[in-house]
Amino acid sequence: MPWFTIKTRTGDCSAFSISHSPFIYSDKLKRMPAIAPGSKVLVTGANGFLATHVVKAFLDRQYSVRGTVRSQEKGDHLHKLFSSHGNKFETVVVKDITQEGAFDEVIKDVDAVAHTASPFHFEADDPNELFIPAINGTKGILQSARKSTTIKRIVILSSTAAISNAPNPGKVYTEEDWNDVAIKAVEEHGKAASGDEKYSASKMRAEKAAWDWYNTNKASVEWDLTTINPPFIFGPTLHEVDKLENLNTSSQLWYEQVVKNTSNSPDLGKSVGSYVDVRDVALANVLAVEKEAAGGERILVPAAPFTWQDMINASRKVGPSIGLNNLPQGYTGYDASEVTYETVFSGEKLKGILGFKPIPLEDTVRDSLLDFKARGWL
C-alpha cells in the first residue's frame, strides 16, 4: 500500500491503493447521440486559463454555458468578457469541488459537461494537495451526474501527464499508455518526489478514477464519458490576470523561457515535451461533445514536440511584423535537424475522431506575444 491517503468530507481516511496491472479505460460499447449547438453545457472552473477559452468556444458555436467559479468575484470578469452573449452565459458558485454533492444543483438541466477544474502546478509539498481536488473533484462531478436525465456526455480534462512524463526517444505515446512511472515515484519517495511526478501522478489517478467509476456505473447512467489529454498548453490569455506574476503556470513558463531568458544556453535546444495551442484544446472539448464517435475515448490533443529554441526562433521570425524587433535570440548554435524529440504523442484520434489540424506554431507564438504586448509586459 502507498504511504498517502485521501480524506473524505467526514474526515475518514481510506488507503489509496495503486494497481500497476493493465487498465481498460472503456469497452466503447455505449455511445450517446451527439449534442448539437443550442444545447446547454456546464464548464467547471470556468475562470481558468483553459476553461475561459472553453467557455468562449462553446458560446461561439451557439451553446448556452453555465460556468462554475469559486466566488462570484471570480465570475465578474467572465460576465464582462462574454456580455455580448447575454443570458446564454451564467456563472454559479461552487466554493469547494472536493465536497460531497458540490455539483448536485449546478448540473441540473444541462446536456453536457466539460470538467476542467483541477490544479496545475509543480509546487505541492504533500501530494494530497494535488490528489484530493483532482480525484475527488472528478469523481464528484460523475456522482452528481448519476441521476441526470438530460446529460448525454461528460468530457473530462486529463493530460499527457497521465500518459507519460518520461523521455523515450523513438517511441510515440498513444492513448493506450499510462504513466505508471510517476505513480511509482510518488509511492516510493512521497513528499521527496519531484513536483512533476506529483502532478503527473495526480492526473493519472484522477483519470483512472473517472474510468473506473464510469465502467462500474455506466449501466445506470444515461450519458457516456470522454477524456481529453493535452500536453503543455500555450497561447493567448482570456482569463483575468492582474499582473505578470499571477499568470497561469504554463504561460508564465513560456514567458520566462521565450521572452525573458537572455541566455545562450545549449539547454534551450533540448527536447522539452509537446505543446498545443489553448484554443485547440478548447475546440477539442466542443468537438468531443459534438462527435458521437468520441464517446468512450481517451483523445490526445498534441500539436507537436518542441524545444524552447523552436519557440524562440518562431518569436524572432514573427516579432518584426508586430513591432517586436529585440526579442532574445537564445542558443546561437542550435540546429533543429540534430534534435531528437524525446516525448512524442500520437495525434491520430485528434485528426480521425475530432477532425481538425492544430494551429501552427508561429500563430501560437504571434498571438501570445501580441497578448503580452497588449498587457504592457513587452
CA distances from 263 to 327, 341, 371 (A): 12, 22, 23
pLDDT score for 124: 56
Report pLDDT for 24.
54
Query: Which tens digit of pLDDT belongs to each residue from 272-286?
Result: 999 999 999 999 999
Q: Say which amino acid occupies 305.
A: P
3-state secondary structure 273-313: EEEEEHHHHHHHHHHHHHCHHHCCCEEECCCEEEEHHHHHH
60 vs 63: CA distance, rounded Å: 7
Using CA atoms, how far residue 84 sits from 4, 59, 99, 176, 236, in Å, is 47, 10, 33, 42, 20
Mean pLDDT value across the chain: 86
Mapping DSSP to helix (H, G, I), strand (E, B) and coil, where does residue 184 land? helix
Element containing residue 200 per DSSP (H, E)? helix 195-217
Q: Which residue reads 490576470 in cell numbers?
A: 241
In this structure, are residues 163 and 175 in contact, taking their beta carbons and an 8 Å threshold? yes
| pLDDT at residue number 359 | 97
The answer to whether 239 touches 48, Cβ cutoff 8 Å, is: yes
Question: What average pLDDT does range 78-89 have in this prediction?
Answer: 96
Return the C-alpha cell found at 202: 495526480
Alpha carbon of residue 118 to chain centroid = 8
Report how far apart the first and last C-alpha atoms of the chain are (Å, whole number). Answer: 50
Q: pLDDT > 70: what percent of the chain?
A: 86
Q: Does residue 263 surpass a pLDDT of 60?
A: yes
- The pLDDT assigned to 123 comes to 54
Fill in the DSSP letter of residue 357.
P
Write the DSSP assignment of 84-115 as a string of letters.
Answer: GGGGGEEEEE-S-TTSTTTTTTTTTT-SEEEE
What is the pTM assigned to this prediction?
0.88
In whole angstroms, how far apart are CA 285 and each of 8, 47, 51, 243, 354?
30, 16, 10, 28, 9
Helices 72-81 and 49-60: crossing angle, nearest 10°?
A: 40
**Reduced to 3 states, what is the DSSP secondary structure of residue 15?**
strand
CA distance 287 to 61: 11
Lowest mean pLDDT, pick from 118-122, 132-136, 152-156, 213-217? 118-122
CA distances from 15 to 2, 5, 193, 349 (A): 7, 5, 19, 35
Distance separating alpha carbons of residues 30 and 214, to the nearest angstrom:
11
Q: Residue 235 corresponds to which cell in the numbers above?
A: 497561447
DSSP per-residue string spanning 46-95:
TTSHHHHHHHHHHHHTT-EEEEEESSHHHHHHHHHHTGGGGGGEEEEE-S
Residue 41 pLDDT > 90, yes or no?
Answer: yes
Give the residue-averaged pLDDT of 263-275: 96
Percent of the chain's residues with pLDDT above 90: 65
The per-residue pLDDT for 189 is: 67
- CA–CA distance, 369 with 212 (Å, rounded to integer): 41
Reported as a pLDDT band with limits 50, 70 and 90, residue 95 is confident
Calpha distance 266→253 (Å, rounded):
18
State the burial class of residue 364 (Cβ atoms within 10 Å of its Cβ: 0-12, 13-18, 19+): buried
